[in-house]
Amino acid sequence: MDASTGQEGDAAFWARARRHMLSYGGNFIPFVAARASGAFVYDAHGRRVLDFTSGQMSAILGHSHPEIAATLASAAASLDHLFSSMLSLPVVDLAEALARLMPSLPRVMLLSTGGEANEAAIKIAKLVTGAWEVVGFAQSWHGMTGGAAAATYKAGRRGYGPAAAGSFAIPAPNAFRPRFPNLSWEAELDDAFDLVDRQSTGNLAAFIAEPILSSGGIIELPQGYLAALKRKCAERGMLLILDEAQTALGRTGTMFAFERDGVAPDILVLSKTLGAGLPLSAVMTSEKIADECAARGFLFYTTHVNDPLPAAVGLKVLEIVERDELAARAATMGAKLKKGLVELQSRHSCIGDVRGRGLLLGLEFVDESAGKRRSAAMLSDAITDRALSLGLCANIVRAGSSGGVMRIAPPLTVSEEEIDLGLDLLGSAMNEVLRN
């Protein structure tokens, strides 16, 4: 214990952490957070790190937003948790607010995490269609439980035995690294569904997709793709589930990422951004699907379904995002950030691509030449580590494929000065790594 600060020493902390913490996805980063405010996280010694991952891609309002803190305190003091069959005003208010944003999907269930919500969405699709086969993208990430894990292909499939029967994957279109350079995305989609049809037993229930595959390497579906995908689903009696865990509530410059394409899903899943860092997710669907679920006895009874405290937070998040026009702000600030990243690309040949939308952006590195032979993944990791040492947090979740892509997702409240600082820190990290 440091007598001057009353804080435990770093060495003692990490000794206890190594003794007691179960590893669940790679190494813990060498930074012990003590507090956070806005776009910065601080350790006990006052060192600050600019958070360009929004926590776990969730804290769209920054950290410790005063209105969220006040809402939490008020809700915790009045109504925090209820029996799962008991409703409350914050829950119905949030459901109504979400339905106002998405009138074609007015039926809402509130849960805790994106994986849990995707699990519910998949069960709904299976129950309503009477089928059980689920198709996703080969670069996807939808969660770590049961059906959500079976539809996750980015990482985590080995060592656990068989996934759910009827799990199929197709490649997401990648403009920077096309699988078939001479084929259009339309032809690639036709070919992918031809293979799905040949493997299916005639029980296709749903396609689950992220509009921008974040963990898969910031792969943005080309304009028109979602509409074509919805047609493929309709032709086969499948439901289209869109997982907007990371892309919803303004992150990409519109309230929902799918708005750009003018295509509404049959089931919409929200999480991460809805709670702005608090555990809250939502499943939204149509009256027709909801009524069919009820008729068939849908069961998804969990401890924290429709809890009032996180619902109160979600309602405040929606209020702030709309009131402060954060979707438009994300478009503006994202354009500034992307311009800076493109300028970095012009100075460093190891940056092969800059892509993404709004404040969800990615840098894809390419294998280094000139005898150094560092792979794209090695470069990305080295630059990430150096950036953290300089005070910038970016590039979370390195597991699985797409290791050469650095993900950058600041809070929607990020300032121009913070964008400039992030670019300066990233540029310095790149210069230092590439000199060695």
| Catalytic residue, candidates 141, 232, 261, 266 | 141
Q: Is 421 left (phi over 0), alpha (psi -120 to 50) or beta?
A: alpha
Q: How confident is the model at residue 10, as a pLDDT?
A: 85
Tell me the pLDDT band of 96, cut-offs 50, 70 and 90. very high
Nearest to 270 by CA among 287, 288, 261, 258: 258
Lowest average pLDDT, out of 160-164, 260-264, 305-309, 366-370, goes to 366-370
Q: Is 86 left (phi over 0), alpha (psi -120 to 50) or beta?
A: beta
Catalytic site includes residue 243 = yes
Which residues does 208 contact at the CB level (< 8 Å), separation at least 6?
Answer: 118, 121, 122, 134, 135, 136, 140, 142, 151, 241, 242, 243
Q: What are phi and psi of 62, to 5 degrees?
A: 80, -175
Q: Which residue has the higher pLDDT, 25 or 78?
A: 78
Question: Which domains occur in the chain, in start order?
Answer: 10-64+325-435 (3.90.1150.10), 67-323 (3.40.640.10)
Q: Are 246 and 273 in contact (CB under 8 A)?
A: yes
Q: How confident is the model at residue 374, as a pLDDT?
A: 77
Q: How confident is the model at residue 401, as a pLDDT?
A: 52
| Catalytic residue, candidates 126, 133, 246, 338 | 246
Asked if pLDDT for residue 6 goes beyond 60, the answer is no
Q: How confident is the model at residue 7, as a pLDDT?
A: 57
Q: Which residue has the higher pLDDT, 308 or 404?
A: 308
Q: How confident is the model at residue 181, as a pLDDT?
A: 87
Which residues does 25 contact at the CB level (< 8 Å), separation at least 6?
Answer: 397, 399
| pLDDT, average across residues 257-282 | 97
Place of tokens 């006895």: 297
Q: Which strands sit side by side in the sheet containing 204-209, from one edge to the other? A: 107-111, 281-285, 267-270, 239-243, 204-209, 133-137, 167-170
* d(C-alpha 148, C-alpha 300), whole Å: 14
| Catalytic residue, candidates 230, 272, 386, 398 | 272
- The answer to whether the Cα torsion of 180, 209, 350, 367 is positive or negative is negative
Catalytic site includes residue 272 = yes
| pLDDT, average across residues 73-88 | 96
Asked if pLDDT for residue 1 goes beyond 80, the answer is no
Q: How confident is the model at residue 24, as a pLDDT?
A: 87
Mean pLDDT of the chain: 93
Q: How confident is the model at residue 402, as a pLDDT?
A: 60
| Catalytic residue, candidates 244, 316, 407, 418 | 407
Q: How confident is the model at residue 351, as a pLDDT?
A: 94
Question: Which stretches of 307-423 are assigned E, i.e. beta strand?
Answer: 351-357, 360-365, 392-393, 405-408
| Catalytic residue, candidates 133, 210, 244, 418 | 210
Q: Give tens-digit pLDDT for 8-28.
A: 678 899 999 999 999 888 788
| Catalytic residue, candidates 243, 244, 261, 266 | 243
Nearest to 221 by CA among 233, 234, 210: 210
Q: How confident is the model at residue 4, as a pLDDT?
A: 41
Q: Give tens-digit pLDDT for 223-258.
A: 999 999 999 999 999 999 999 999 999 999 999 999
Instruction: Calculate what percentage of the chain has a pLDDT beyond 70.
Output: 95
Tell me the pLDDT band of 187, cut-offs 50, 70 and 90. very high
Catalytic site includes residue 357 = no
Catalytic site includes residue 407 = yes
Q: Give tens-digit pLDDT for 126-185.
A: 999 999 999 999 999 999 999 999 999 998 899 999 999 999 999 999 999 998 888 999
Catalytic site includes residue 417 = no
C-alpha distances (whole Å) from 86 to each of 92, 97, 290, 333 are 11, 19, 19, 42
Q: Are 313 and 72 in contact (CB under 8 A)?
A: yes
Exposed e or buried b per residue across 219-240, where buried means at least 16 C-beta atoms within 10 angstroms of its C-beta: bbbeeebbebbbebbeebebbb
Q: Give tens-digit pLDDT for 390-433.
A: 999 997 555 555 678 999 999 999 999 999 999 999 999 999 99
Asked if pLDDT for residue 261 goes beyond 90, the answer is yes
